Every structure is written in structure tokens, then in C-alpha cells.
Amino acid sequence: MKKALAAFGRWVAVLVVLLAVLLAGPIWMLASDQIVTEGHWSALDRSSAAIAPSPEEVSEAVVQVYAARAYNWRGAFGVHIWIATKAQNADDYRLHQVLSWRRPTVVSSIDIPDRSWFGHAPEVLADYRGDQAQQMIPQIIDAAARFPYADLYRVWPGPNSNSFIAWVAREVPGFDVSLPVTAVGKDYLFDGVFAPTPSGTGYQLSLGGVVGVLVALEEGIEVNMLGLGVGVDFMRPALKLPGIGRLGMPARVMGNHQ
């Protein structure tokens, strides 16, 4: 009995240490005031970051993927990601994303492509232009309409907004995007436990989005523990930490427009 209790105690200690390590980053993000947690959602910044090309100046088709820290305290853990598309000669952008407060959760609507996400400015993860973008747009729309969990949303471990982006990237040929380690839910797989990475440059193994491993040229090596990721990027040297994200060189913006 004493040996069993001792073994149980060691497992508990290991779990406590693991949780402390995984939560250190998110706690630091909150403590350092890098996350907007004050103010009503309706008063937080939702203006354009002036990243997307203006439809008045650029007639070619555009497909971009944006990520910004999630709303309120959730931003300490991860990001919200969306896809912005503009068909050739179109006057507006259409955003494709999953919103937790909507049913069905998948929303495709005309909107500002690069607007801040409730106080947090976005960054570009992928940028496709011209004929390739034009060919991808109807495929993106079709994949979004077929998203298998449009009536279910779970912040953790998924399916959520980041699970949706990973799904669309895998469904559309040539639509490769390297999702950040802070994209909680990206590792939630819908069909089985093994799949190509959204970047199309490697593979990942994941058990319900809770535990898994990813190896790819673009993403490097990532280990998913309890839905939070830790990793190393060798191509553009950087550490990837829960909550904090990349420490090192910035990730490459994927696409045909560099």
C-alpha cells in the first residue's frame, strides 16, 4: 500500500509541475498586461490595421489568413484566426470564421479583412494573390460550408475557430498555412488521430486535441500537452511556448505573395 501511495504521489507531483510549466506563459501574459482584459467588448478596438490591400487599388484576387489574440483572458492562452477573401475585381472582402456565439458557428460575411480582434491587432499568416487565390476562393467557400462541427463549439480542446481554419487548409489543395503554437484547437483532428499539418509540409498525431506531436518543415517540432503546445522551429530558429508564442525569428508568411 505504501509503495502504491508513493507512486501515486509521484504522479501527482509530475502533473502539478507539468501544469505549472504549461500555465506559466499565460499567467505571464496576463501579469505583464499584454492582454486586453478591461472594457466592454463593444468599446474595444475593431478598426483596420491597414494590412490588407485596398480593393480600390488591387483588382487581383486576394486570400489572406489573419491571427489576433483572443478576446479577454482567453488571449493569454491563444489566438483567434480567420480567412479573408476578395475575388478578382470585387469591391469587398468576405471573412470566413467560426464565432462561438453564433449557431451555426461558421460565418462568411462581408467585413473589414484586417480589423483588430477586440483590442488586439492582427498579423498575417498567409497571403495568396492572383490566379491561385481566385481558384482557391470557391474551394474555401465550399469547405467552410462543409465544416462538420458547425453546431458545436468548445474553447478547449476543440472544435473551435482554430480547428475550423486547420480543417479548411487541409480541404483546399494548395492552401497551406502554418498555424502558430498559440492556435489552441488547431490540433483537434476530425477524422482519426493522424493527419497532414495545415502547412502541408509534415504530419501530426493527436488524441482528441489533448495530447499529440507534430513534425513539419514549416512548423518544426511541436508537442501538444493538455491542448497547449511547446515546440522548436529549426528553419527559422525559435522556441514556441504556451501562451507566449514564438521567441526568436518570426514565422514565414506562407503564400505566393512575398
Reported as a single tens digit per residue, the pLDDT across 111-143 is 999 999 999 999 999 999 999 999 999 999 999
Model confidence at 11: pLDDT above 90: no
d(CA 125, CA 198): 12
Residue in 1, 172, 194, 163 with CA at minimum distance from that of residue 79: 163
Enter the pTM of the model. Answer: 0.94
CA 40 from centre of chain: 24
- Give the ranges where the chain is alpha helix by DSSP (H): 2-31, 130-145, 161-171
Query: Could you tell me if 39 and 72 are in contact, meaning their C-beta atoms sit under 8 angstroms apart?
Result: no
Confidence grade of residue 18 (pLDDT, cut at 50, 70, 90): confident
Confidence grade of residue 19 (pLDDT, cut at 50, 70, 90): confident
Residue in 115, 101, 105 with CA at minimum distance from that of residue 66: 115
d(CA 146, CA 102): 16
Helix and strand tally (H, E) in the chain?
3, 12
d(CA 12, CA 86): 52
The angle that helices 161-171 and 130-145 make with each other, rounded to 10 degrees, is 120
Mean pLDDT to the nearest integer, 213-223: 97
Kindly state the percentage of the chain with pLDDT values over 90. 86
Per-residue confidence (pLDDT) for residue 5, from 0 to 100: 64
d(CA 48, CA 86): 16
* Four-CA torsion 21, 240, 115, 127, nearest 10 degrees: -160
Mean pLDDT to the nearest integer, 43-66: 96
- In tens, the pLDDT along 138-173 reads 999 999 999 999 999 999 999 999 999 999 999 999
Residue in 198, 232, 49, 29 with CA at minimum distance from that of residue 123: 49
Q: Which residues pair with 79 in a beta bridge?
A: 69
**Which residues of 154-201 form beta strands (DSSP E)?**
194-196
